[in-house]
Amino acid sequence: MSKPRVAVAMSGGVDSSVSAALLEEAGYEVIGLHMRLWPEEGSSLIPVDSACCSRRDASDARRVCQILDIPFYALDFERQFQRYVIDYFCREYSQGRTPNPCIACNQWIKFDLLLRQALSLGAEYLATGHYALIEGSDHGRRLLKGVDSSNDQSYFLYTLDHDDLRRLLFPLGIHRKAEVRCIAAQKGLPVAEKPKSQDLCFVPGGRYAEFLREYAPPQTGYIIDVEGNVLGKHKGIAAYTLGQRTGLGVAAGRRLYVLAIDAQTNTVIVGSEDRLFTPRLSAGNLRFVSHRPESPVTIEAKVRYRSPLVSATLCLHDGRGEVSFDEPQRAVTPGQSVVFYRGCEVIGGGVIEAS
């Protein structure tokens, strides 16, 4: 007896391709869904074959589906991606914050729009190539870190809730990246050696400032020190983020770092590195995977994807979370997400508002 139908989000990369292959091998009825997020003609800044989910990626995804002999569907999510990811990204930077568009894409595109599309096609599950685990227990489902610590992506998934986890599959959670490439090669998939994207998917080459200028012309303002002395002019606050040292364009005879960005006064505040460390943060837009914990609770917190987990205490009140670190943390940045862990389990997270 065959297993249920599962739709796999097919980006055209090795991770999603192997996810589809593993699920087919396990006996599921698999269909492939590819999202088109950019106009066919591309843009002056981002050629159509440079961005994520490009024509090249669509061709790779279609070819993998042909090899696996599974149906392939191309879905046009250009308008929704613009609204929920691009506009959000530009708006946050214009307000002096540093957003995480990958989390927004997961929350609003993959695990909302795409999940609903999968269900409308008769699938019982949506699968993606995320390196994370979903585990069932007597108390429901839990979201856990993937076994490959260097590629674990649980940080990006904290907005999922218990109902979402019932409809999702992460086949790669028990695998390491090197194993995934080996599986792709063994199955003759043409993406086995396809390079991993190193940049934000819609800003190839990390050209953030150029990208943002295309959507909103920057307004110059002043760079000041913590005493309010004017040190120079900035190129628009969207070109700066907390902790930044290079590219400031000021000469002060000492190393200066971005300490804060004030969108209301259009100023960038700089100072010495020791001022970047903070003992606590405040977060809003809180989400919890299974249940809201009793407050206060001892947790481990991650303030950026590549930041280490650090011991902290979480206190909840009035819809906000206050995180107090056991040791002060460097460059805790408004707009980024803080994710709460208990061991390997993701409890939840929120968007950093202040530190």
Residues labelled catalytic: 105, 201
Pairing state between β 310-317 and 72-76 = unpaired
- Residue 296 DSSP SS3: coil
Phi, psi of 32 (to 5 degrees): -105, 135
Judged by phi (left if over 0) then psi (alpha if -120 to 50, else beta), residue 346 lies in: beta
Q: Which of 289, 74, 65 is nearest to 168 (CA)?
A: 289
- Residue 188 DSSP SS3: coil
Strand spans (E) along the chain: 5-9, 29-36, 72-76, 125-127, 132-137, 140-145, 168-169, 221-225, 230-234, 257-262, 267-271, 277-288, 297-302, 310-317, 320-330, 337-342, 345-354
Q: Which of 203, 166, 212, 34 is nearest to 110 (CA)?
A: 34
- Residue 78 DSSP SS3: helix
C-alpha span between 30 and 311 (Å, rounded)? 41
Report the chain's C-alpha Rg in angstroms: 22
C-alpha span between 313 and 300 (Å, rounded)? 8
Instruction: Judge whether 216 and 92 are in contact, CB under 8 Å.
Output: no
CA distances from 147 to 135, 172, 198, 199, 283 (A): 13, 9, 21, 23, 28
Q: Is 79 exposed, middle or buried (0-12, 13-18, 19+ CB in 10 A)?
A: exposed
